Amino acid sequence: MKKNKSFIALFLLAIFAFAAVGYWLLPFLAKNETSSNTENNYNQPPAFVKEGEVTFWKGQQKIVKIDVEIAATESERAQGLMYRPSMPDSVGMLFIFEWPAAQAFWMKNTIISLDIIYLDENKKIVSISKNAVPYSEDSLPSAGKAQYVVEVVAGFTDKYGIQPGDRITF
């Protein structure tokens, strides 16, 4: 009987020892798993997802068509093109606001230089902020009320001769 009590005590001590070691290691294992997941989620630049197309027009003449992501909600507009290391001139982002108003953008956390094109409720270009400086927190206001904004890589508007008075369709 005494042997059984010693065996049970030894068995319970071993279980306690394994539990204590597991309890001590758990925070380290969880931290490594969390940091690995964090790296995968936050160190990857957002992938471009085509949600539509924007065509630029000068009168009745088509200038160029690009694929766009659409930023229609407050959180999508706040994120914009932040954290993207590069972007071809065949893509951009279309911001859609509920109604026309004076708009102003900035480049905080935006790695690449952009041309920011402001458009009125009729989709006519009211102004362009060219070659916006990466990471700048300076306000880049529209020259009039804008309901739509298209962001493209810097130099796009010069390359295609896009200017105020031109329009877009999407």
Query: For 134-162, how does the pLDDT look when each residue is reduced to its tens digit (9 = 90+)?
Result: 999 999 999 999 999 999 999 999 999 99
- The residue range of the domain holding 9 is 1-44
Choose among 75, 71, 80, 74: nearest CA to 132.
Answer: 80
Give yes or no: residues 140 and 57 share one domain: yes
Give yes or no: residues 23 and 107 share one domain: no
Q: Which residue has the higher pLDDT, 81 or 38?
A: 81
- What tokens does 109 get? 């956390």
26 has a pLDDT exceeding 50: no
Give yes or no: residues 79 and 31 share one domain: no
Give yes or no: residues 58 and 140 share one domain: yes
Give yes or no: residues 9 and 26 share one domain: yes
Give yes or no: residues 40 and 56 share one domain: no
Give yes or no: residues 64 and 36 share one domain: no
Give yes or no: residues 76 and 29 share one domain: no
Residue 44 confidence class, pLDDT cut points 50, 70, 90: confident
Give yes or no: residues 150 and 67 share one domain: yes
**What is residue 32's predicted lDDT score, i.e. its pLDDT?**
41
Q: Which CATH number covers residue 119?
A: 2.60.120.1140
Give yes or no: residues 86 and 39 share one domain: no
Q: Are 134 and 94 in contact (CB under 8 A)?
A: no
56 has a pLDDT exceeding 70: yes
Model pTM score: 0.74
**What is residue 7's predicted lDDT score, i.e. its pLDDT?**
59
Structural domain tally of the chain?
2
Q: Are 89 and 56 in contact (CB under 8 A)?
A: no
Give tens-digit pLDDT for 90-130.
999 999 999 999 999 999 999 999 999 999 999 999 999 99
